[in-house]
């Protein structure tokens, strides 16, 4: 099965309580494909500037990512600079954003891309996301989309126009509440489902995730991490784990989507343990499998059988 991701490739300048990385490779499509390529063959479509280094290209190649669709444009690579709050990783300040060559990004799908079985529209301009869908030769088995507050706040119509064509929508808790103008996640998911997507995945960072898959609700806590180094890209690695698992299984059953959420959580938990995708350079497929088992062992309990009850008070 082939998985196609379209999104940003970037250089990030990130400061957290653990330190700082300048010109660290990042971007939504970069993070996603490093993660998804553990599980399935992944092709990336994106744009970089002439400053994009061979070392960073080879991170993708070594991970097995097909970068035939990574175009180099004259100019500099998209750059983002941010600082995370020392006490609350959910809070970060963007110091600087330089779109650079991203303003020229005009995704072009080749003949192989156009027949992709699974497509992930990573966080970029919704107009580009829609443009990608229009180039596909056949309807993929599954199309998923991620976005961010910037598009939700100021490009809602354009975003809705692409959301109605996707099967899976990823949003974080604050984003979906703001998108639907409600303070309850269940209500928000119902509202979004009316737009089209069958599956809504609400990411809550360190507080886990809740998935609404038509009638099936599934929720799991985050894998507890004691040393969170840098949360940048964790949501993209999460989505990469999800789509990589589904494409790797080539199955769309509720059970597969539940396991995809676990795989996603595992990949997100590794992502935060290092700057950029550094943590992934030191782990193997076995480490990923082990953490999948670990998340099972810290969350599992025996349900009550049909004829079984909780203890009851004896006095009246």
Q: What is the 3-state secondary structure (H, E, C) of the chain?
A: CEEEEECCCEEEEEEECCEEEEEEEECHHHHHHHHHCCCCEEEEEEEEECCCCHHHHHHHHHCCCEEEEEEEECCCCEEEEEEECCCCCCCEEEEEEECHHHHHCCCCCCCCHHHCCEEEECCCCHHHHHHHHHHCCCCCCEEEEECCHHHHHHCHHHHHHHHCCCCEEEEEHHHHHHHHCCCCHHHHHHHHHCCCCCEEEEECHHHCEEEEECCEEEEECCCCCCCCCCCCCHHHHHHHHHHHHHHHHCCCCHHHHHHHHHHHHHHHHHHCCCCCCHHHHHCCHHHHHHHHHHHHHHHCCCCCCCCCCCCCCCCC
Cβ–Cβ under 8 Å, residues 239 and 122:
yes
Residue 210 sits in the site that holds its own copies (CB under 8 A): yes
Residue 307 sits in the site that holds its own copies (CB under 8 A): no
Binding residue for its own copies, selected from 16, 123, 259, 269, defined by CB under 8 A: 259
Residue 270 sits in the site that holds its own copies (CB under 8 A): no
Q: Which is nearer to its own copies, 98 or 187 (CB)?
A: 187
- Using alpha carbons, list the distances in angstroms from residue 267 to 33, 38, 110, 116, 201: 12, 10, 29, 23, 15
Residue 135 sits in the site that holds its own copies (CB under 8 A): no
Residue 184 sits in the site that holds its own copies (CB under 8 A): yes
- As measured in angstroms, the least distance from the Cβ of 49 to its own copies is 27
- As measured in angstroms, the least distance from the Cβ of 60 to its own copies is 13
Residue 313 sits in the site that holds its own copies (CB under 8 A): yes
Q: Which is nearer to its own copies, 7 or 248 (CB)?
A: 248
Residue 134 sits in the site that holds its own copies (CB under 8 A): no
Binding residue for its own copies, selected from 20, 186, 253, 281, defined by CB under 8 A: 186
Interaction residues for its own copies, span 36-65 (CB under 8 A): 37-42, 64
Binding residue for its own copies, selected from 214, 217, 253, 281, defined by CB under 8 A: 217
Q: Which is nearer to its own copies, 14 or 162 (CB)?
A: 14
- As measured in angstroms, the least distance from the Cβ of 100 to its own copies is 31
Q: Which is nearer to its own copies, 67 or 102 (CB)?
A: 67
- As measured in angstroms, the least distance from the Cβ of 211 to its own copies is 10
Identify which range of 20-28, 108-116, 140-148, 218-226 contacts its own copies by CB under 8 A. Answer: 218-226
What residue ranges bind its own copies (CB under 8 A)? 37-42, 64, 66, 86-88, 183-187, 204, 207-208, 210, 217-221, 224-228, 244-245, 248-249, 255, 258-259, 261-263, 285-286, 288-289, 292-293, 296-304, 309-316
């Amino acid at each position: 099965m082939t998985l196609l991701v379209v999104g940003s490739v970037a250089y990030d300048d990130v400061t957290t309580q653990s330190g700082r990385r300048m010109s660290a490779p990042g971007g939504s499509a970069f993070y996603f494909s490093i993660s998804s390529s553990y599980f399935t063959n992944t092709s990336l479509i994106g744009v970089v500037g002439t400053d994009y280094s061979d070392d960073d290209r080879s991170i993708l190649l070594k991970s097995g990512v097909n970068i035939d669709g990574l175009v180099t444009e004259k100019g500099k690579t998209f750059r983002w600079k941010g600082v995370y709050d020392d006490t609350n990783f959910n809070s970060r300040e963007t110091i600087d954003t330089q779109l650079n060559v991203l303003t020229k990004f005009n995704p072009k799908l080749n003949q192989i891309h156009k027949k992709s079985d699974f497509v992930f529209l990573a966080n970029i301009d919704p107009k580009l996301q829609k443009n990608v869908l229009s180039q596909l030769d056949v309807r993929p088995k599954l199309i998923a989309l991620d976005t961010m507050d910037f598009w939700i706040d100021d490009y809602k119509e354009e975003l809705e126009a692409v959301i109605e064509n996707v099967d899976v929508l990823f949003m974080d808790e604050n984003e979906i509440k703001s998108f639907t103008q409600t303070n309850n996640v269940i209500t928000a998911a119902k509202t979004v489902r009316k737009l089209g997507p069958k599956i809504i995945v609400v990411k809550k960072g360190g507080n886990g995730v809740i998935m609404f898959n038509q009638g099936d609700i599934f929720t799991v806590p985050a894998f507890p991490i004691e040393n969170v180094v840098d949360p940048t890209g964790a949501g993209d690695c999460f989505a990469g784990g999800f789509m990589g698992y589904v494409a790797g299984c080539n199955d769309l059953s509720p059970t597969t989507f539940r396991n995809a959420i676990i795989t996603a959580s595992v990949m997100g938990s590794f992502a935060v343990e290092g700057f950029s995708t550094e943590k992934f350079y030191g782990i193997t497929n076995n480490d990923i499998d082990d953490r999948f088992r670990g998340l099972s062992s810290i969350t599992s309990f025996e349900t009550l059988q049909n004829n079984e009850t909780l203890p009851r008070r004896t006095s009246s």
